[in-house]
């Protein structure tokens, strides 16, 4: 009898265990290196969704809170497990028109976990595991015909503190606008606070527990604002933060509002054991929808000349603009850009006349526009063109028909949802009119280039425009040696590089502290599908023959890119391939003479070439033959120096 009772109790225990919902799940990448652990365990009498991320056996992200509050109801706290989908293998090969690698593939494993809130409402957590990281987002797939508001997102990133961080503060200048133009805080303590009370900007780079990791955001479809980060999480963990209510360009609230179905942006964690994994990642692009442009044959990356940097008033001068058309034609650059003020062009012709002249020279013209953000009642019609749908389409149709190739749209000035909605609307209308786009004064790239491949670049960087102040010239080398590991990882970067001159501001020149070799190398080190080379025509035309030929040859889109050596803020050596030709660029961020050593890509071994280096001083070039029998190269550089070369 006792044996029967024991057997019955054991069977009951087994049945109860089988009926109990699991509280832990794992999703592992195809190469088994990346592991996402999801938990729904009871703590202090209440179950809370949380996650952690592992790289091999190393903790990359410690246990971190998940969830959000929508319509004042919690989704994630006291959640009940409903189901987990089967793991789906994704392999989606696609082509980009610009970027670090044109032929690429979204390859990962995806799993959807469904939970029920305390009020009985279902929601999803969609997770993807890549060979170089993890991405997840929340989903509310059931339509109900109502508008909903998310009051807060609880998502945390509990990065282990035994390491260092490289993060750009969320902009907060005198205009109270996020332009992503702050200097990076290099090698700061992980989970340290920013100081101005408004948090940090994506992307965030970490070296922790022996791994390199980047955290950022992907896929903005207009149903959510662009977000940033503060230290409001558990034990100062990083936590999602909505835009600042004080961002004055529009008075809108900061909370996201949408109908269902609704999917939040992807939270992206890129991780690997070396910096090249971070440098090469294309996860941000992968996490966006496929291209909506059927015919992409007209979309071409390219280089451009530009008169504004050296003399801001010249867009109004017809004859000066012809000079820059001639510069592009002579250098073999595909485009030239006419910046703000072209509507009032004089001195012999109009913008339309410049376009006609450029067409004869085989050069495409781009035009500058204000985004219209916050200019609903502006007395200048030109400031409202891009924000009003009817006026925007009419203007795009007009300039496309006369032969304009692209538009540089500036001053978006906020991360609030209404202005985020302007990006896809503008990009779609531009694509319909065969116009390329540079999003200047814009939010950080979140992967628009996959869905709208006519978007060739975005600013979101303290670029060469700011070099009219001496203190910024003094910091330029370290800044330049940082952003290849931070800002430029997540998308093309409209820095407007390769400036050999001293920029003059209000009659006073700011003295360039980087060398000529450093500036030449930026054409390779910095990736941008619209590479706007900012110096005056005379600077390029007076270059020695080899550097000038380098700028004639170097393209703006790449078949392959890799980091050969470097450390954020210290130095960077980058190799990029177009066809069978490799381009090398190296820069130092230190004010000291040094020797930089690196190994060339495998396909370059045995090829001889000449490296263009620093000369006897910062204002001259040197030349170093490289026999390259074993692939190892050593280059001596001056303080803030650099070098560049082409391997055919």
Range 205-223 average pLDDT: 98
At 332-362, the pLDDT tens digits run 999 999 999 999 999 999 999 999 999 999 9
Q: How is residue 490 annotated by DSSP?
A: G
Of 105, 46, 109, the closest CA to residue 78 belongs to 46
Parallel, antiparallel or unpaired: strands 238-241 and 228-230: antiparallel
pLDDT value of position 46: 74
At 570-618, the pLDDT tens digits run 999 999 999 999 999 999 999 999 999 999 999 888 889 999 999 999 9
Structure pTM? 0.95
Of 303, 336, 302, the closest CA to residue 320 belongs to 336
Give yes or no for a cis peptide into 23 (omega within 30° of 0).
no
pLDDT value of position 45: 67
Count of CB atoms situated within 10 Å of the CB of 630: 10
Of 444, 570, 640, the closest CA to residue 166 belongs to 570
**Cα R_g (the chain), whole angstroms:** 26
pLDDT value of position 9: 41
Reading the block at residue 327, the tokens are 């510069």
At 545-557, the pLDDT tens digits run 999 999 999 999 9
Range 617-639 average pLDDT: 94
Parallel, antiparallel or unpaired: strands 455-458 and 436-439: parallel
At 438-452, the pLDDT tens digits run 999 999 999 999 999
Give residue 545's Cα distance to chain centre: 34
Give residue 107's Cα distance to chain centre: 20
Of 252, 311, 376, 274, the closest CA to residue 506 belongs to 311
At 361-394, the pLDDT tens digits run 999 999 999 999 988 887 788 888 999 999 999 9
pLDDT band, very low/low/confident/very high, at 10 (cuts 50, 70, 90): very low
pLDDT value of position 4: 47
Backbone angles phi, psi at 353, to 5 degrees: -70, -35
Q: Is pLDDT at 487 greater than 60 in this prediction?
A: yes
CA dihedral angle for residue 109, residue 110, residue 111, residue 117, rounded to 10 degrees: 150
pLDDT value of position 173: 67
Count of CB atoms situated within 10 Å of the CB of 597: 12
What are the strands, taking DSSP E only, across 545-631? 560-567, 571-578, 581-588, 594-599, 609-614, 621-626
> Alpha-carbon distance 129 to 35, whole Å?
7
User: Which of these ranges, 4-13, 319-328, 636-645, has the smallest mean pLDDT?
Assistant: 4-13
Reading the block at residue 627, the tokens are 């026999």
CA dihedral angle for residue 340, residue 370, residue 99, residue 599, rounded to 10 degrees: 60
Q: Which helix (H) or strand (E) holds 7?
A: helix 2-19
DSSP string, 422-480: HHHHHHHHHHHTT-EEEE-S-PPP-SHHHH-TTEEEE--S--GGGTTSHHHHHHHHHHH
CA distances from 207 to 161, 162, 193, 281, 609 (A): 10, 9, 17, 16, 35
Backbone angles phi, psi at 464, to 5 degrees: -65, -20
Which residue do the tokens 């442009």 mark? 293
Parallel, antiparallel or unpaired: strands 156-157 and 238-241: antiparallel
pLDDT value of position 312: 86
Helix orientation angle between 545-553 and 516-525, rounded to the nearest 10 degrees: 10
Range 25-35 average pLDDT: 98
User: Which of these ranges, 319-323, 384-388, 394-398, has the smallest mean pLDDT?
Assistant: 384-388
CA dihedral angle for residue 496, residue 305, residue 537, residue 323, rounded to 10 degrees: -150
pLDDT value of position 448: 98
Q: Is pLDDT at 477 greater than 50 in this prediction?
A: yes
Of 157, 206, 137, the closest CA to residue 447 belongs to 137
Task: Establish how many alpha carbons lie within 13 A of residue 377's alpha carbon, considering only the half-sphere containing its beta carbon.
Answer: 2
pLDDT value of position 157: 98
Reading the block at residue 338, the tokens are 């006419």
Give residue 20's Cα distance to chain centre: 44
Percent residues over pLDDT 70 in the chain: 96
pLDDT: which is higher, 380 or 409: 409
pLDDT value of position 20: 65
pLDDT value of position 47: 79
pLDDT value of position 250: 86
pLDDT band, very low/low/confident/very high, at 646 (cuts 50, 70, 90): very high
pLDDT band, very low/low/confident/very high, at 171 (cuts 50, 70, 90): confident
Q: Is pLDDT at 483 greater than 60 in this prediction?
A: yes
> Alpha-carbon distance 172 to 199, whole Å?
10
Q: Is pLDDT at 43 greater than 90 in this prediction?
A: no
Q: 460: which strand partners?
A: none
> Alpha-carbon distance 141 to 100, whole Å?
34
Range 157-173 average pLDDT: 93
Q: Which helix (H) or strand (E) holds 351?
A: helix 351-361
Range 140-150 average pLDDT: 95
At 80-109, the pLDDT tens digits run 999 999 999 999 999 999 999 999 999 999
pLDDT band, very low/low/confident/very high, at 622 (cuts 50, 70, 90): very high
User: Which of these ranges, 169-183, 225-239, 246-260, has the smallest mean pLDDT?
Assistant: 169-183
Backbone angles phi, psi at 363, to 5 degrees: -115, 135
Q: Is 269 exposed, middle or buried (0-12, 13-18, 19+ CB in 10 A)?
A: buried
Reading the block at residue 635, the tokens are 């280059």
> Alpha-carbon distance 376 to 422, whole Å?
13
> Alpha-carbon distance 64 to 159, whole Å?
9
pLDDT value of position 326: 98
Structural domains in the chain, CATH included, are 22-286 (2.70.98.10), 302-559 (3.20.20.70)
> Alpha-carbon distance 545 to 531, whole Å?
21
Query: For the chain, what is the mean pLDDT?
Result: 94
pLDDT band, very low/low/confident/very high, at 522 (cuts 50, 70, 90): very high
pLDDT band, very low/low/confident/very high, at 6 (cuts 50, 70, 90): very low
Question: Can you say whether the dihedral through the CA atoms of 477, 481, 484, 488 is positive or negative?
Answer: negative
> Alpha-carbon distance 196 to 255, whole Å?
21
Q: Is pLDDT at 531 greater than 60 in this prediction?
A: yes
Helix orientation angle between 422-432 and 389-402, rounded to the nearest 10 degrees: 30
């Amino acid at each position: 009898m006792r044996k029967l009772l024991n057997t019955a109790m054991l069977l009951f225990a087994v049945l109860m265990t089988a009926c109990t919902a699991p509280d832990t799940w794992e999703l592992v990448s195809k190469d088994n290196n990346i592991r996402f652990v999801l938990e729904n365990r009871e703590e202090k009498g209440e179950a809370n969704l949380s996650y952690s991320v592992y790289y091999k056996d190393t903790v990359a992200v410690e246990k971190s809170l998940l969830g959000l509050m929508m319509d004042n109801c919690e989704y994630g706290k006291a959640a009940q497990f409903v189901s987990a989908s089967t793991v789906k293998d994704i392999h989606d090969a696609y082509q980009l028109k610009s970027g670090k690698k044109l032929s690429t593939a979204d390859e990962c494993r995806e799993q959807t976990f469904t939970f029920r809130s305390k009020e009985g409402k279902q929601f999803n957590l969609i997770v993807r595991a890549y060979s170089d990281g993890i991405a997840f987002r929340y989903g509310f797939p059931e339509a109900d015909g109502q508008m909903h508001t998310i009051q807060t997102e609880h998502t945390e990133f509990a990065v282990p503190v035994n390491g260092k961080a490289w993060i750009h503060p969320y902009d907060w200048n005198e205009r109270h606008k996020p332009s992503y133009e702050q200097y990076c805080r290099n090698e700061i303590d992980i989970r340290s606070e920013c100081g101005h009370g408004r948090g940090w900007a994506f992307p965030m780079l970490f070296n922790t527990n022996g791994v390199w990791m980047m955290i950022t955001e992907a896929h903005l479809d207009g149903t959510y604002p662009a977000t940033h980060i503060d230290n409001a999480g558990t034990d100062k963990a990083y936590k999602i933060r909505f835009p600042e209510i004080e961002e004055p360009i529009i008075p809108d609230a900061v909370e996201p509002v949408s109908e269902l179905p609704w999917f939040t942006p992807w939270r992206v964690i890129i991780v690997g054991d070396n910096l090249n994994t971070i440098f090469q990642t294309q996860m941000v692009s992968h996490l966006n929808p496929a291209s909506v442009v059927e015919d992409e044959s007209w979309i071409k990356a390219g280089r451009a000349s530009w008169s504004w940097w050296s003399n801001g008033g010249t867009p109004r001068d017809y004859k000066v603009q012809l000079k820059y058309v001639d510069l592009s034609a002579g250098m073999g650059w595909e485009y030239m850009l006419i910046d703000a003020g072209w509507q009032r062009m004089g001195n012999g012709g109009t913008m339309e006349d410049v376009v006609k002249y450029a067409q004869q020279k085989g050069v495409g013209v781009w035009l500058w526009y204000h985004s219209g953000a916050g200019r609903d009642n502006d007395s200048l019609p030109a400031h409202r063109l891009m924000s009003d749908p009817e006026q925007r389409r009419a203007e795009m149709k007009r300039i496309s028909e006369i032969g304009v190739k692209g538009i540089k749209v500036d001053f978006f000035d906020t991360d609030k949802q209404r202005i985020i909605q302007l990006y896809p609307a503008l990009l779609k209308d531009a694509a319909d009119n065969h116009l390329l786009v540079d999003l200047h004064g814009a939010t950080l790239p979140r992967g628009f280039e996959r869905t709208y491949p006519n978007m060739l670049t975005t600013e979101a960087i303290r670029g060469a425009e700011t070099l009219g102040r001496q203190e910024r010239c003094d910091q330029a080398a370290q800044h330049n040696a940082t952003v290849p590991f931070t800002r430029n990882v997540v998308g093309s970067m409209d820095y407007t590089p390769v400036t050999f001159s001293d920029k003059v501001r209000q009659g006073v020149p700011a003295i360039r502290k980087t060398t000529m070799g450093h500036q030449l190398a930026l054409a390779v080190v910095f990736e941008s599908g619209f590479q706007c080379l900012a110096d005056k025509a005379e600077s390029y035309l007076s270059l020695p023959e080899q550097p000038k030929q380098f700028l004639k040859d170097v393209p703006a889109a790449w078949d392959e890119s890799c980091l050969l050596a470097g450390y954020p803020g210290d130095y960077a050596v980058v190799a990029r391939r177009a066809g069978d030709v490799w381009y090398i660029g190296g820069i130092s961020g230190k004010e000291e003479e040094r020797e930089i050593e690196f190994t060339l890509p495998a396909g370059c071994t045995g090829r001889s070439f000449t490296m263009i280096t620093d000369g006897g001083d910062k204002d001259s070039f040197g030349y170093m033959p490289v026999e390259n029998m074993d692939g190892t190269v050593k280059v001596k550089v001056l303080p803030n120096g650099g070098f560049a070369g082409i391997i055919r």
